[in-house]
Amino acid sequence: MKRSRKNYSPEFKAKVVLELLQENKTINEIASKYGILPKSLIEWKKQFLENAALAFDKSSVVKEYKQEIENLKEENEKLAKKLGKVIVERDWLQGKLKSLDLLIRKTLIDNSEGVQAKTQKNPSLSLNRQLELLSISKTAYYYTKKEPFSSKEDKILLDAIDKIYTEHPYYGARRMQKALESIGIKVGKRKLSRIYKFMGIRALYPPPKTTILNKENKKYPYLLEQITTTQRPNQIWSGDITYIKLEKGYAYLATIIDWHSKKVLSWKLSNTMDSYLTTSILEEAIEKYGKPEIFNSDQGSQYTSKEHIEILEKNGIKISMNAKGRSIDNIAIERFWRTLKYENVYPKGYNTIKEAREGINQYIEIYNSQRIHSSIGYKTPDMVYYNLSNEMLGSKIKDLLKAA
C-alpha cells in the first residue's frame, strides 16, 4: 500500500535550516529535536543555499510564482465547493488512517499544550481520543528508540576504532577486527560494518570498498606520482575531510594544507558533509594565499562535484585525485589528521561543535606559528611558507614568554 508523506511548510524548513547553518549542534541532534531524517535536513540545506540569491531579487520571485499563485486561487475555489462532502470524506479518512504505518500515524498527533482541555474555544481532541482514533497504544506512543551505540562499552569501541583508523586509514573490516582483538576488544564483522556506516568512515577515507563515489562525476588522474619533494609554497595543496566525534553525534572537519610548508591554509567544521563544506574553504584559501599549481584530493563526491571542479578550472589549477583505495596518496593531510587528533581532539574530548571549533582553532594557530616539524628542518609551517629565519622565530618565542 502506498504511504503518504508528511509535508513541511516552507517556514518550518527555513527555521530548521537556519538552525543547521549556525553549526552549534550536530545534524543528529537537530534531526532528533524535530523528528526529521538527517537526509532530509541535508537536502533542505542544499535547496536553501541554491535559492538564497532569490531573497535579493523579489521581482524574479514574483514572476516565477505568479502562475502558481493563480493556480492556487483556482484550486481554493474548487476546494470550497467540496466542503459539503466533508462528512463522507471524514469517515473514509478514518478508515485509511488505521492502515497507515505506526510512525506516520504518530506524526499526526497534536500534543500541544492544553490539548487535554476540550472546550468551545479549544475543541481539540484529547490525547487519549487521538490515540484511540489512530489505533495507537500509549506504550507505542511513548516509546523512544534507543540511540545506536550509546552504551559505555560501545563508546569505548568507537573511540578505539577512531584512533586505529586515524593511524591506519587503509585498514578494512578484517584488519580492523584483528587490530581490536590485539587490544582485547572483540567485535563481530556485522556490528563492525554497522559502526563503520554510523561513524561515516566510508565518506572520509578511500580504502578499498569504502569511498562514496558519484559515478556521474568525472574522475581525474593522480599527478603527484613523480613528485618526491616540493620546491616552494603553493606548488601543491591537499584537501580532505575527517570526522570529529562529539558527545552527541559527529562534526565534519574539512581542511586545505600546503604540501611544502605543512601550513593549514583554510578549514571549516560543519555538522553536514556536502560540497559547500569543501568549496567554501577552497574559495577562502585562494582569496588569502593565491592559487596553487596543483590541488590534490580523494575521489569523494564533494571533490568531484560540479561546484568544486568549476572553482579549480576557473583559476587554472591542475586537478589531481588519489587512486581509488589509496589514502596514502594524500599523505600530507593524513599525517595532519593524526597529529591533530592525538595532540588535541582525543585529549580534549569535545562535547559540542562550539567547543570543538574553538579548541581546533586555537590548536591550528599554534600548529602553524609555533609547532616545529622535523620534516621541514625543525621549523614551523609559517616560517617555511613565509620564508622566515630562525632568529625571527626565536624573537617571537621570547615575546610570547614575556607576555606569559
- One pLDDT digit (tens) per residue for the chain, 404 residues: 455 567 888 889 888 888 888 888 888 888 888 888 888 888 888 888 888 777 776 666 566 666 677 777 777 777 766 655 665 566 666 666 666 677 777 677 776 644 444 444 445 678 887 787 777 787 777 766 666 676 788 888 888 888 887 776 667 777 888 888 888 888 888 888 888 777 766 433 333 232 345 567 788 888 888 777 788 999 999 999 988 888 888 889 999 999 999 999 999 999 988 889 999 999 999 999 999 999 999 888 889 999 999 999 999 999 999 876 555 667 888 889 889 998 999 888 899 999 999 999 999 999 999 898 888 888 999 999 998 765 555 555 555 555 54
Are residues 180 and 60 part of one domain?
Answer: no
Would you say residue 301 lies in a domain? yes
* pLDDT of res. 92: 64
What are 39-45's contacts with CB under 8 Å, separation 24+? 41/16, 41/17, 41/272, 42/272, 42/274, 44/13, 44/16, 44/17, 44/20, 45/17, 45/20, 45/21, 45/272, 45/274, 45/276
Half-sphere exposure of 137 (CA within 13 A, CB side): 3
Assigned domain for 108 exists: yes
363's CB contacts (< 8 A; 6+ apart) are 340, 343, 344
Q: How far apart are CA 243 and CA 162, in angstroms?
A: 9
Domain-embedded: residue 216: no
**What pLDDT does residue 161 have?**
84
**Residue 137 and residue 180 share a domain:** no
361 lies in a domain? Answer: yes
Is the same domain home to 259 and 347?
A: yes
pLDDT of residue 171: 73
Co-location of 157 and 48 in the same domain: no
Among 123, 142, 161, which residue terminates a domain?
Answer: 142
Q: By the 8 A CB rule, do 199 and 251 touch?
A: no
**Same domain, residue pair 261 and 303:** yes
Q: Which amino acid is at 273?
A: M
Residues 88 and 156 placed together within one structural domain of the fold? no
Residue 403 covered by a domain: no
Residue 253 in contact with residue 241, Cβ under 8 Å? yes
Predicted model pTM: 0.57
Last residue of a domain, one of 118, 142, 166: 142
CA atoms within 13 A on the CB side of 327: 27
Strand order in the sheet with 264-270: 264-270, 250-258, 236-245, 294-297, 318-321
Same domain, yes or no, for 387 and 318? Answer: yes
Give buried/exposed letters for 152-190 (b at 16+ CB in 10 A, else e): eebeebbebbbbbbbeebbbebeebbebbeeeeeebeee
Task: Tell whether 399 is covered by a domain.
Answer: no
Q: Which of 198, 202, 199, 222 is nearest to 212 (CA)?
A: 202
Give the number of domains in the chain.
Answer: 3
pLDDT of the residue at 70: 73
Residues with Cβ within 8 Å of residue 151, at least 6 apart in sequence: none
Residue 65 lies in a domain: yes
185 and 250 belong to one structural domain? no
- What pLDDT, on the 0 to 100 scale, is given for residue 324? 63
Q: Are residues 78 and 136 in the same domain?
A: yes
Do 127 and 176 belong to one domain?
Answer: no
Asked whether residue 189 falls in the same domain as residue 90, the answer is: no
Which pLDDT belongs to residue 124?
Answer: 66
Q: Judge whether 240 lies within some domain.
A: yes
The Cα 321–Cα 298 span in angstroms is 5
Q: Which domain holds residue 184?
A: 152-199
Residue 228, beta-bridge partner list: none
- Could you tell me if 17 and 106 lie in one domain? yes
CB atoms within 10 A of CB 251: 25
